[in-house]
Amino acid sequence: PKTDIVFLKVHKSASSTVMNILFRFGETHNLTFAFPIGGGNQLFYPRHFMARFVEGFSPSSPRRFNILCHHMRFLQPEVHKVVSRSAFYFSILRNPVKLMESSFAYYKGATAFSRVRSLEEFLRQPYHYYSPTDGDRHYARNLMTFDFGFNPDGEVSAERVKLMLKAIEASFDLLLISEYFDESMVLLKEMLCWDLDSVVSFPLNIRDSSTKSQLSDTVVEKIKDWNRLDWEIYTHFNRTFWERIDRDIGRERMQREVKALRERQGELARTCLQGMGSVAPKHIKDSSLKPLQHGSARILGYNLKQGLDKETERMCRRLVTPELQYSSALYKKQF
């Protein structure tokens, strides 16, 4: 199994669920994490990543960490200083239309969104609310482009897009697609030589559907235009994702693997969860399992079954512990 891993945690793209998978694998295999100094949950985002943001890093004795997975704005030369040269790099992408709808609900307090009632209103005249000089502008435009380290306000020329895609391809071994999450996990498991249980998960940091809004075709097209760089990244890597599946796994085997993954998830849900699924924040009984609530989004969580034996309880708890709580527990353990 590969144990040196860099995961670029792109915002609002099922990346908290992937992070939980990395936390569990790291914890059960006694791996080290490149934590933000002081145990925060972001590596001084939205600044470009620097090795000195990592707790325990010192230029004089460059210590290598196994897993780098907290929110950061990617800058590979600095990342190289904290992980081994042979580390496996991956990230996950999401359709920019869904991503922007989610970002609008989650980052309602961002400068560009704070004065509008709806996404439609914002898109009618975006430059009325959006300024490239705002410190939090990235939440409102080309968020993936920004997380990968590029300028979200850059011009969209064929040449520039080509260079950007080339740079991402040169840095990353694998780009997953959140709309095909189960297929993504099968592909990840193959590439990392992990077993099935290592990539099984319950969806974390997801919104209650009552806070999701339906978008008209006009709005969808406006979102694509406004986030043109993200759209180019997404469509390109969605295509290469399926090309890779055809090349390395094949559709038939992929179907079998996805079926096995879903069956195992169902088994674990029956074992671990009260009521088999996620619940609204007010119904979460154990306060240590309550996810952070943000913006106008209502973030769901889980209740564990009572009376589980110690070993099962520990395994189940790992699966449903929200990112911030899990991160700070691992930080305390490591330092």
pTM listed for this prediction: 0.96
Instruction: Tell me the domain boundaries of the chain.
Output: 5-334
Contact 267, 200 (CB under 8 A): no
- Enumerate residue ranges in the chain where pLDDT < 70: none
69 touches 41 (CB < 8 A): no
Omega within 30 of 0 (cis) for the link into 46: yes
Tell me the sheet residues that pair with 90.
Answer: 7, 174
pLDDT at 296: 82
CA-CA-CA-CA torsion sign (152, 158, 164, 169): positive
Q: Rounded to a whole number, what is the distance in angstroms from the first to the last CA of the chain?
A: 25
Residues in the chain: 335
> CA–CA separation, 243 vs 241, rounded Å?
5
Specify the pLDDT at position 258: 98
Segments in the chain forming alpha helices (H) = 15-28, 76-79, 96-106, 119-124, 126-129, 143-147, 158-171, 181-192, 196-199, 217-226, 228-248, 251-272, 310-320, 323-334
Helix axes 228-248, 158-171, angle to 10 degrees: 50
H/E element holding 176? strand 174-177
CA triple 7-42-101, angle to 5 deg:
80
Query: Would you say 39 and 114 are in contact if contact means Cβ atoms under 8 Å apart?
Result: no
Topology of the domain covering 5-334: Rossmann fold (3.40.50)
The per-residue pLDDT for 297 is 82
- Pairwise CA distance, residues 198 & 92, whole Å: 17
| Spatial CB neighbours of 328, under 8 Å, sequence gap ≥ 6 | 39
